[in-house]
């Protein structure tokens, strides 16, 4: 290979390597904003049910997806004025294995009520005492919805993950207390579709609440505007300041939980501080990623206004000083311009307005005419 060709090839390799590094740095430093995604649940016999007409309670069953094929949930749902009550009795949850088997980011399960338009509402966490799930009693203002259980990093998540392990199925007819089936596909919206799904290992003897708080703070610090360390610019909006303050509170409560655990692993303060930390961290993450509030929208509006201001400044900027001034053309010298008609200087001339647009002149002419007629008539008399 010729020396010149080899040099060009080496230069090309260096340029490509530098471009890859710069692209990676840009992706690392840029804010990790996430768009709203639609997750469809394509499972057999999935059903949306309406409970508005119920006078008593009715039995509902939830079936496991391919992520938890042995899982099943049986619950009772009753309609009350203004809300719907859900009961999962002891023994109502079977075949549900620990959540961390689905990925390193998953530490618990959350039950959701999903409206017909895809809005998921966090009903409660499914907790365990050892290997046995704890019975739950909860309510929702929704009257028409379908149910699902997802694997989550903490109990306080605002949006569900895409790891659906259970979903509600068609109801077996039991008489007048049956819920009203509603036609429609099972789907939901979420900002939290990206999680670490590599197989999680066995957990140490650490309270699950403390593990959830650690994961919540970790995810919040890597999310959206918080990942870009927006506090460094010193100019924060009210929403940005609240987001950073929520993360600082989460870190402070996590430190108190860690200290309590180090002092006494069985202290009730460990779980208390850990759950408060997870809640604050989730609030910060939801704001930073646009799951709640309008922080992302306002930031985009600010960037758009700044871009418009810079564009207007460029349009009104003066010519660059380094540009040479056009040479002066001596007087009485004609500069030929081929294929272009010669420019003719137009000298403005006074053009008298038409008579119809001068009423004063009309009155004057008419007056003089009348005076002349009267003068000739006197002389003739």
Predicted pLDDT of residue 365: 60
Residue 296: count of CB within 10 angstroms of its CB: 21
User: What is the token pair recorded at 55?
Assistant: 């006078």
Boundary (domain end) residue, out of 295, 310, 325: 310
In terms of domains, do 93 and 225 share one? no
Domain hosting residue 60, numbered range: 38-190
In terms of domains, do 83 and 154 share one? yes
Predicted pLDDT of residue 292: 67
In terms of domains, do 231 and 118 share one? no
Predicted pLDDT of residue 309: 66
Boundary (domain end) residue, out of 310, 341, 375: 310
Tens-digit pLDDT profile for the chain (381 aa)? Answer: 544 444 443 443 333 333 333 343 434 334 444 578 999 999 999 999 998 776 678 999 999 999 999 999 999 999 888 899 999 988 899 999 989 999 999 999 999 999 999 999 999 999 988 778 888 999 999 999 999 999 999 999 999 999 999 999 999 877 777 899 999 999 999 998 889 888 766 667 899 999 999 999 999 998 877 776 544 555 667 778 888 899 999 999 999 999 999 999 999 999 999 999 999 999 999 988 886 655 455 555 555 566 666 777 777 775 554 555 555 444 444 444 444 444 434 434 444 455 445 555 556 666 666 666 666 655 444
In terms of domains, do 45 and 185 share one? yes
Boundary (domain end) residue, out of 190, 214, 237: 190
In terms of domains, do 80 and 185 share one? yes
3-state SS assignment for residue 367 = helix
In terms of domains, do 174 and 218 share one? no
The number of residues in the chain equals 381
Q: Specify if 4 maps to a domain.
A: no
In terms of domains, do 169 and 43 share one? yes
Are the C-beta atoms of 132 and 93 separated by less than 8 Å? no
CA–CA gap between residue 87 and residue 74 (Å, rounded):
9
In terms of domains, do 184 and 224 share one? no
In terms of domains, do 157 and 268 share one? no
Predicted pLDDT of residue 67: 96
Query: What letter does residue 345 receive in the DSSP assignment?
Result: P
Q: What residues are paired with 347 via a beta bridge?
A: none
Check the CA dihedral 271-272-273-274 and report its sign: positive
Number of domains in the chain: 2
Q: Specify if 7 maps to a domain.
A: no
CA–CA gap between residue 259 and residue 211 (Å, rounded):
14
User: What is the token pair recorded at 9?
Assistant: 């090839």
């Amino acid at each position: 290979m010729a020396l010149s060709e080899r040099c060009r090839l080496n230069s090309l390799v260096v340029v490509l390597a530098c471009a890859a590094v710069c692209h990676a740095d840009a992706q690392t430093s840029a804010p990790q904003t996430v768009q709203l995604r639609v997750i469809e649940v394509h499972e057999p016999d999935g059903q949306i049910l309406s409970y508005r007409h119920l006078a008593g309670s009715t039995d509902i069953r939830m079936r496991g997806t391919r992520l938890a094929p042995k899982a099943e949930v049986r619950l009772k749902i009753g309609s009350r004025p203004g809300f719907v009550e859900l009961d999962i009795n002891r023994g109502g949850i079977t075949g549900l294995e620990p959540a961390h088997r689905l990925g390193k980011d998953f530490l618990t399960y959350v039950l959701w009520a999903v409206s017909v338009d895809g809005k998921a509402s966090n009903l409660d966490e499914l907790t365990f005492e050892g290997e046995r799930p704890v019975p739950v009693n909860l309510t929702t203002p929704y009257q028409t919805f379908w149910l699902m259980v997802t694997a989550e990093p903490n109990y306080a998540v605002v949006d569900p993950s895409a790891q659906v392990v259970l979903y509600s199925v068609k109801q077996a007819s039991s008489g007048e207390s049956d819920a009203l089936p509603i036609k429609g596909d099972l789907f939901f919206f979420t900002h939290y579709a990206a999680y670490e799904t590599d197989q999680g290992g066995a957990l140490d003897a650490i309270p699950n609440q403390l593990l959830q708080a650690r994961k919540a703070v970790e995810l919040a610090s890597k999310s959206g505007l918080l990942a870009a360390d927006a506090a460094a610019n010193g100019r924060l909006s009210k929403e940005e300041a609240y987001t950073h303050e929520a993360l600082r509170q989460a870190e402070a409560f996590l430190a108190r939980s860690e200290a309590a655990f180090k002092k006494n692993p069985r202290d009730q303060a460990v779980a208390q501080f850990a759950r408060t930390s997870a809640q604050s961290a989730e609030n910060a993450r939801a704001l930073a990623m646009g799951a709640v509030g309008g922080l992302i929208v306002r930031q985009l509006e600010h960037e758009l206004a700044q871009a418009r201001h810079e564009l207007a400044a460029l349009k009104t900027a003066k010519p660059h000083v380094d540009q040479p001034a056009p040479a002066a053309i001596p007087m009485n010298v004609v500069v030929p311009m081929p294929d272009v008609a010669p420019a003719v200087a137009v000298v403005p001339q006074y053009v008298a307005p038409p008579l119809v647009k001068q009423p004063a002149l009309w009155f004057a002419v008419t007056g003089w005419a009348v005076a002349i007629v009267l003068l000739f008539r006197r002389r003739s008399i």
